[in-house]
Chains A and B, each alone.
Chain A
Amino acid sequence: MKAVITVIGKDRVGIIAAVSTILADCNVNILDISQTIMREFFTMIMLVDISKATISFTELAEKLEKKGKELALSIRIQHEDIFNSMHRI
């Protein structure tokens, strides 16, 4: 299963490192990363493969959310199908 992680917030050192460390620890493979600064906000979007993850989706979501709180960022993980169904026919 593929999921999309979005990180939105004020830019700072170590955002990608923090998120990718969690992913590596949980055996989640990063397939694609794009990042941009939109209206002064750091926006990172990652496509990840969670089919071999060592923890459940809920646990991963909670870990990311917790890290987001520490870094004062919003970090979300969502099944990619919500984006596919909304934007692709």
Chain B
Amino acid sequence: MINPFEILETIKMIQEENLDIRTITMGISLRDCCDSDERVACAKIYDKITRLAANLVKVGEDIEREYGIPIVNKRIAVTPVSIIAESRDTADYVKFAETMDRAAEAVGVNFIGGYSALVHKGYTNGDRRLIASIPEALSTTKRVCSSVNVATTKSGINMDAVREMGFVIKKAAELTASEGALACAKLVVFANAPEDNPFMAGAFHGIGEPECVINVGVSGPGVVKCALEKVRGADLGVVAETIKKTAFKITRVGQLVAQEASKRLGVQFGIVDLSLAPTPAMGDSVAHILEEMGLEKCGTHGTIAALALLNDAVKKGGAMASSYVGGLSGAFIPVSEDAGMIEAVQSGALSVEKLEAMTCVCSVGLDMIVVPGDASAETISAIIADEMAIGVVNSKTTAVRIIPALGKKEGEIVEFGGLLGRGPVMRLNRFSSKTFIERGGRIPAPIHSLKN
């Protein structure tokens, strides 16, 4: 029998340190739902999602009860809709978003991702129509999440798409101004988007994925922080080792849940995503892990080194614990969803520039950043361009989920509620990038992409 201390350690992680499974995400291919008649296509999409995901929530809840581990979200990711809707020469792609929304509601999931387009090298006609419809789609639906991949290391950066996304984000913010620009929290712009990411808002079911798949995202910043509290004063080698061991334990639970969910649903197991995903709850913050390492506030000098150590140790521990690792797999640093990040911004320790630097060494990018509502579309595009360049040159995923808070100024707070949290409006550089962004075109792939 497992010894009592180990049992109590697990229970303490769950009860006091916020260990949970952040999401079980079912990936569903919609490639057989194309039809030139949009009513037929939408009916096929609705039927397929509600058929395959009918038991997703129930199975998640059963596992939660039997193993005594909270599974916070059950979600769905589908094939990028730009591909599915393309057979139909219609300007009205919003119908597809409405269908996804209804299907998600019917099976009881809170988010469905995949209102997406992959345009890193250029647009197809369908991509163009889908991207143009994003603001309306996200403002008229509740559960639909959207993502656009505008850059890859292999193909460079599509600056026309970067430019357009600045306008799309501004429009989405305007359409949902009364809800704190909520639509923007459901929209991610990617470089090197992973095809098997289980986390919203960026989840979609990539074109290399099987018919249906289960991907699981674990969490547990609180567990890592508590483990580090026990090694205060020890050198950073000990810190790395402690994080590694903790990540191993966390990920083993993720692996167990993924296998069990896949077995019960009769669906292939895809990957476990090793990300440390924070929530706005106290004791569930990535920033507080960095501060536990010895930084007075997240964002001060030394933050990048601490984050690099954390990210690497999480991967090393997690990789040993799971048979298939994928998705984003690293520490998340969303501002509004992390109590420590919010404090760091409010105290003036953490700036957009430092966050950009942090994204060079961790899994995502500028995530849930609230900026002044008067920031121009070109400025937002330029922020995206910088982040895409970091991803492309470093051969990693980067993303931008940015929220222009209309009518709000630097220092004010926008409340989103729930897991999305609350975000302080951050300061941006006041000089213009307009002429640069207006050039458009495509930034070529970096020389080190030529590996063949």
Contacts and interface: CB of A to CB of B under 8 A. Distances in A.
Interface string B56-86: 0000000001111100000000000000000
A78 B10 CA distance: 11
A71 interface: no
Interface in B1-29: 1-2, 4, 6-11
A47 B1 contact: yes
B256 interface: yes
Interface stretch (B90-98, B147-155, B247-255, B391-399): B247-255
Contact of B2 (A58, A61, A88): A88
Contacts of B10: 82-83, 86-87
Given A57-B65, A58-B65, A81 B256 contact: yes
Interface in A48-89: 57-58, 61, 76-88
A6 B67 contact: no
Contact of A82 (B1, B4, B8, B256): B256
Contacts of A45: 4, 7-8
B249 to A, nearest CB: 5
Contacts of B9: 87
B67 A43 contact: no
Contact of A57 (B1, B66, B249): B66
B234 to A, nearest CB: 23
A34 B2 contact: no
Given A6-B8, A82-B69, A87 B2 contact: yes
Contact of B1 (A6, A32, A36, A81): A32
Chain B interface residue bracket vs A: 10 to 19
Chain A: interface residue count, which band? 20 to 34
A86 B68 CA distance: 13
A36 B67 CA distance: 23
Nearest to A35: B4
Nearest to B61: A58
B212 to A, nearest CB: 24
Contacts of B6: 83, 86-87
A47 B2 CA distance: 9
A77 B253 contact: no
Nearest to B63: A79
A4 interface: yes
A36 B5 CA distance: 11
Contacts of A34: 4
Nearest to B66: A79
Given A47-B1, A57-B66, A61-B65, A83 B256 contact: no
Given A6-B8, A45-B7, A87-B10, A78 B256 contact: no
A85 B10 CA distance: 11
Contacts of A32: 1
A45 B8 CA distance: 9
Given A57-B65, A78-B66, A83 B2 contact: yes
B256 A85 contact: yes
A6 B65 contact: no
A89 to B, nearest CB: 9
Contacts of B253: 82, 85-86
A83 B7 contact: yes
A3 B8 CA distance: 14
A63 to B, nearest CB: 13
Contacts of B11: 6, 8, 76
B8 A43 contact: yes
A82 B67 contact: yes
Contacts of B256: 81-82, 85
Interface string A18-61: 00000000000001101010100001010100000000011001
Contacts of B252: 85-86
Nearest to A3: B66
Contacts of B7: 4, 6, 45, 83
Contacts of A82: 10, 67-69, 253, 256
Contact of B67 (A47, A58, A78, A88): A78
Contacts of A58: 65
B218 to A, nearest CB: 12
B2 A80 contact: yes
Given A82-B68, A86-B10, 10 more contacts: A43-B8, A76-B68, A77-B68, A78-B66, A82-B69, A83-B6, A84-B2, A85-B255, A85-B256, A86-B249
18 contacts: A6-B7, A36-B4, A45-B4, A45-B7, A47-B1, A57-B66, A61-B65, A78-B66, A79-B67, A81-B67, A82-B69, A82-B256, A83-B6, A83-B7, A83-B10, A85-B253, A86-B252, A86-B253
Please name the 6 residue pairs, one residue from A and one from B, whose CB atoms are nearest each other, closest first.
A78-B68, A85-B256, A87-B6, A82-B67, A83-B2, A85-B252
Interface of B: 1-2, 4, 6-11, 65-69, 249, 252-253, 255-256
